[in-house]
Amino acid sequence: MLVARRADRLNALASELGGAHVIAIDLTEAGAPERIASEVRARHGALHLLVNNAGAAWRGYFADGGWENVERHMRLDFEAPVRLTEALLPLLRESVEGAPGRVAIVNVASTAARVARPRSGSYSAAKFALAGWSDALYAEEARHGVHVGLVLPGFIRTEGFPARELLASVRTRWLVSEPEHVAEAIVATGPGGKAERYVPRGYWFAAAARILAPALVRRALAGEGFTTSTGGEQS
């Protein structure tokens, strides 16, 4: 079953896949999770894999966008997956009996769920929340037989992010991956039972550096110049 806002894109994908039920709906709408859960139960009576991939980013400084920009990120990137999972969790648990070890939830977060960059704080706030909630949900649902995996993509070449500048340089080309690799990571962290997967895999280094050398990472992300405690400039 395919769920997103644009019916034309969903129908094209369903045709390419050889048949899939399409639900064209905005996940932030009131009642959307309940409608989806009702259709899944009515059509299939079981659910073995839920992939929460809804998300968007609107870059900007917090001083300019304020809480309004934080809130719209939270509504789509965090609340929508949480609300949909809440609506489908009973069916996921029920489905374990007929498919032990095969029922999973995969939350697609971002490398921004581990390392926050300037002008992306609102996006990171929502993705950090999604990652933290995923860890807790795994611990809660493991005894019910429902696995929870996490995928943390970096720069992925898509319609909304063609990544032309990054791909133009040999030095930065490695930073960009393809949607197919994200799909492979979803399979690995869903039916495959892995805890989490970075795409590209090398992005784990940034997350590790954030833990091992937080001051260094902060200075690097803030740019070459930064203000010291004495008010001077350093580079």
Tokens of 228: 């010291």
Positive or negative torsion for Cα 210, 215, 218, 220 = negative
> Which helix or strand (DSSP H or E) is residue 176 part of?
strand 176-177
Q: What is the pLDDT along the chain (235 residues), one digit of tens a residue?
A: 999 999 999 999 999 999 899 999 999 999 999 999 999 999 999 999 999 999 999 999 999 999 999 999 999 999 999 999 999 999 999 999 977 678 999 999 999 999 999 999 999 999 999 999 999 999 999 999 999 999 999 988 887 777 778 778 877 888 888 999 999 999 999 999 999 999 999 999 999 999 999 999 999 999 833 433 333 333 2
Q: Within 10 Å of residue 54's Cβ, how many Cβ atoms? A: 19
61 classed as catalytic: no
Domain boundaries, the chain: 31-204
CB 47 within 8 A of CB 1: no
Q: Give every CB contact of residue 90 below 8 A, 6+ residues apart in sequence.
A: none
Q: One of 123, 138, 198, 203 is an active-site residue; which one? A: 123
Rounded to two decimals, the pTM is 0.90
* CATH of the domain spanning 31-204: 3.40.50.720
Tokens of 43: 């059509």
List Cα–Cα distances, 81 to 3, 140, 188, 228, in angstroms: 12, 17, 19, 40
Positive or negative torsion for Cα 201, 207, 212, 217 = positive
